[in-house]
Chains A and B, each alone.
Chain A
C-alpha cells in the first residue's frame, strides 16, 4: 500500500486523484441518501443531457485559466452565436452548414477580440472580458429585440439534430458522446501538443516563455479564439436540445463553468492544470442541484453547497501547492 502511495503516478497526479475521490464520495452520498433516484437510469440520462452544455466550455476554458487569464464573456458569446445560428437556420430553411460555419466563425471572432484586447492593447483579461460580456449580450438584445427564435421547424428530425442531441441506442444522449470525445481530444492537445505545451509555459512565466522563443501573444490569442469557438459550439448544442433561441441564452453558464474548472484543480495562478480534473469538476458541479434535491434538501441549499464545494476545493489545492513550494 505504501509503495502504491509513493508511486510516480500518484505523486504526479495528486490533484486528479483528490478530485476523483471527492466525486466518488459525493456520488456515494447521493446513492445512499436517495437510492430510489440514483439506482435508476433516468437521473444519469438527465446528467448526460445537461452537463455537456457547460462542460464543453469548461474544458475549453481550462486552457485560458492555465494561461493565468480568465474569460468572463463566454456566456454572451454563447448568446450572440446562438442568435446568429437561429437567424440563419430559419432564414435559409435549415441550411446547417452555413449556420454552423457563420456561428462558429463569429464565436472565434469574439474570442479574437478578447485576445487582441488582452495582448495588443494590454487590458487585464478580467476587465476586457467584462466589457465584451456586456457588449455581446447588448448586441443580442438589440438584434433580437427581446424575442426568441424557434428552430423546431427547420431542425427537428434532421440528420444534424440526430447527431447533436438525439439518443444513441435510445439511451445515451449524443451531446454526452461529443463531450467525451472532445474532452479526450482536448486532453491530448493540452498535454501532448505544442500548443498545450506553450499554454503551460506562458501561464507559468510569461517572460521566460518569451525568452525561450515562444510567441506569448499568439498563444494567448489562440486560447481565447478556441474558447470562442467552443462557446459557439455549446450554444449550438443547446439550440438543438431546446429547438429554441431565447435572448438570455447562456447567462446561467458563467458560475457553473468556471466553478467546474476551479473545482477540477486547475491553478488560478497559471502554469498547471488538468483537463481530466475539469471533467470531474463538471460531473460534480453538474450533479449538485439534482443531487441535493433528491437527497430531500430544499433547493435553497444548492447555491450554499455549491459555494462550499468551490471554497473547500480551491483551499485544498492552494495548500497542496504551497507544500510543494
Chain B
C-alpha cells in the first residue's frame, strides 16, 4: 500500500523568457527515495527549489499529504515537513555547530532571546544519536569550518531528522566527498526508508544514485522524459539511457 506524500502537477517555471520547467508532473510516496537525474541545465535544481520554497512556480499545483499547498518560503516548507540538505551551502562556516543546527528556527523565549542551554543540549543529542559523532575534537561549540565534507553533510542530515521532516531534499549530497564519506552518506539515505521518510535526491553519479534510490526520474531541458522503477531497470540500462539521451536528445521508450 503506497501512500502519496508529494505531488507536483503541471508545474511551469520561467526565468524571464527562459522556460526552465515545462509541464512537470512528479509524485513521491511515503518511504520512497526518488532520484532526479539529468544533465546540467535540465532543471533539477530549479525543481527542488520549487519544492523547498526558494522559488514559486509560474503555474501548476503542488499537493503535500494529498492537500493542495502553496509553498511560498523556506520557512513554510520546513514547517510542513520538507527539509533541504544542500551540499556546501548547508551551513555557515564561522558559526558554532549548535547555532548552525538551529539557524532560522532558534529555540527562544517570547522576547526572542535564545535558549542557549537547550540548543546546546539538543545539538549534543543530535551529534551523538543521529550522526554518531564520538570524536572529542568536535563539540557543539566548534565552528563548522573544522569539519570535513562528510561531517558537514552528517550535521545537515541530523538536523533534518531532529526536526522530524517527512521529505528530505538532497542536492548533490556526495559531491566532493571521499569514498568512505560517500558510503556514509548513501547509508544515511538508505536509512531514511526505515523511518518511513521520503527523499528526493540529485546526484551526478549514477552509480551512487542507483544504489540508494527506489525510482529514477529523468529530466531533460525542463521536461520529465523518463521514469523507471529500480526493479525494472538495471544499472547498465540506466547508464545506457542517459548516454542515449545525451547523444540523441531522446529516450527510446520500449514496451
Measuring CB to CB, which residues of chain A are less than 8 angstroms from any residue of chain B?
8, 12, 188, 192-195, 197-198, 200-201, 204-205, 207-215, 271-272, 324-325
**Which among A193, A195, A213, A271 is the interface contact of B74 at CB below 8 angstroms?**
A213
Shortest Cβ distance from B99 into A: residue: A197
Query: Of residues B86, B93, B113, which shows the largest number of chain A Cβ atoms within 10 Å of its Cβ?
Result: B113
User: How distant is B58 from chain A, measured CB to nearest CB, in Å?
Assistant: 21
**Which among B94, B106, B141 is the interface contact of A272 at CB below 8 angstroms?**
B94
Is the Cβ of A213 less than 8 Å from the Cβ of B94? no
**Which among A197, A215, A324 is the interface contact of B114 at CB below 8 angstroms?**
A197
Shortest Cβ distance from B103 into A: residue: A212
B145 at the interface (CB under 8 A from A): yes
Contacts A192-B113, A194-B106, A214-B103 given; does A208 touch B92 at CB 8 Å: yes
In the assembled complex, 21 residue pairs joining A and B whose CB atoms fall closer than 8 Å, in A order, are: A192-B113, A192-B116, A193-B112, A193-B114, A195-B112, A197-B103, A198-B103, A200-B99, A201-B99, A204-B92, A207-B89, A208-B92, A211-B52, A211-B54, A211-B89, A213-B73, A213-B74, A213-B103, A213-B105, A271-B94, A324-B145
B104 at the interface (CB under 8 A from A): yes
Is the Cβ of A204 less than 8 Å from the Cβ of B108? no
Q: In the complex, given contacts A195-B112, A200-B95, what are 4 additional A-B residue pairs having Cβ atoms less than 8 angstroms apart?
A: A201-B92, A213-B74, A213-B75, A271-B94
Measuring CB to CB, which residues of chain B are less than 8 angstroms from any residue of chain A?
52, 54, 73-75, 78, 84, 86, 89-95, 99, 103-106, 108, 111-114, 116, 141, 145
User: How distant is A178 from chain B, measured CB to nearest CB, in Å?
Assistant: 21
Is the Cβ of B105 less than 8 Å from the Cβ of A201? no
Q: Which residues of B contact A207 (CB under 8 A)?
A: 89
Interface class of chain A by DSSP? helix
A212 to B108, CA, bound (A): 17
Shortest Cβ distance from B52 into A: residue: A211
Q: Which residues of B contact A201 (CB under 8 A)?
A: 92, 95, 99, 103-104
Q: Which residues of B contact A271 (CB under 8 A)?
A: 92-95
Contacts A204-B93, A204-B95 given; does A212 touch B104 at CB 8 Å: yes
Q: Which residues of B contact A188 (CB under 8 A)?
A: 113
Is the Cβ of B104 less than 8 Å from the Cβ of A213? yes
Q: Which residues of B contact A215 (CB under 8 A)?
A: 75
Is the Cβ of A210 less than 8 Å from the Cβ of B94? no
The 6 residue pairs across chains A and B that have the minimum distance between CB atoms: A213-B104, A204-B92, A212-B104, A213-B74, A213-B75, A212-B103
Q: Which residues of A contact B104 (CB under 8 A)?
A: 201, 209, 212-214
A-B contact count (CB 8 A): 76
Is the Cβ of B108 less than 8 Å from the Cβ of A194? yes
Q: Which residues of B contact A204 (CB under 8 A)?
A: 92-95
Shortest Cβ distance from B73 into A: residue: A213
Is the Cβ of A212 less than 8 Å from the Cβ of B93? no
Shortest Cβ distance from B171 into A: residue: A211
Q: Which residues of B contact A194 (CB under 8 A)?
A: 106, 108, 112-114
Query: Of residues B108, B111, B112, which shows the largest number of chain A Cβ atoms within 10 Å of its Cβ?
Result: B112
Q: Which residues of A contact B116 (CB under 8 A)?
A: 192
A209 to B103, CA, bound (A): 8
A325 to B144, CA, bound (A): 11
Q: Which residues of A contact B103 (CB under 8 A)?
A: 197-198, 201, 209, 212-214
Is the Cβ of A208 less than 8 Å from the Cβ of B89? yes
A207 to B87, CA, bound (A): 12
Q: Which residues of B contact A214 (CB under 8 A)?
A: 103-104
Shortest Cβ distance from A213 into B: residue: B104
Query: Of residues B84, B89, B92, which shows the largest number of chain A Cβ atoms within 10 Å of its Cβ?
Result: B92
Shortest Cβ distance from B86 into A: residue: A211
Shortest Cβ distance from A8 into B: residue: B141
Is the Cβ of A193 less than 8 Å from the Cβ of B141? no
Contacts A205-B93, A210-B74 given; does A12 touch B114 at CB 8 Å: no
Query: Of residues A12, A194, A200, which shows the largest number of chain B Cβ atoms within 10 Å of its Cβ?
Result: A194
Q: Which residues of B contact A8 (CB under 8 A)?
A: 141
Is the Cβ of B92 less than 8 Å from the Cβ of A192? no
Q: Which residues of A contact B86 (CB under 8 A)?
A: 208, 211
A215 to B53, CA, bound (A): 13
A43 to B95, CA, bound (A): 40
User: How distant is B165 from chain A, measured CB to nearest CB, in Å?
Assistant: 13
Q: Which residues of A contact B106 (CB under 8 A)?
A: 194, 197
Shortest Cβ distance from B104 into A: residue: A213
Shortest Cβ distance from B101 into A: residue: A212
Shortest Cβ distance from A272 into B: residue: B94
Q: Which residues of A contact B84 (CB under 8 A)?
A: 211
Q: Which residues of A contact B95 (CB under 8 A)?
A: 200-201, 204, 271
Is the Cβ of A193 less than 8 Å from the Cβ of B105? no
User: How distant is B125 from chain A, measured CB to nearest CB, in Å?
Assistant: 20
A324 to B75, CA, bound (A): 32
Query: Of residues A8, A193, A324, which shows the largest number of chain B Cβ atoms within 10 Å of its Cβ?
Result: A193
Shortest Cβ distance from A207 into B: residue: B89
Shortest Cβ distance from A271 into B: residue: B94
Is the Cβ of A12 less than 8 Å from the Cβ of B141? yes
User: How distant is B76 from chain A, measured CB to nearest CB, in Å?
Assistant: 9
**Which among B74, B113, B141, B145 is the interface contact of A212 at CB below 8 angstroms?**
B74
A192 to B52, CA, bound (A): 28
Q: Which residues of B contact A209 (CB under 8 A)?
A: 92, 103-104
Is the Cβ of A193 less than 8 Å from the Cβ of B113? yes
A187 to B138, CA, bound (A): 26
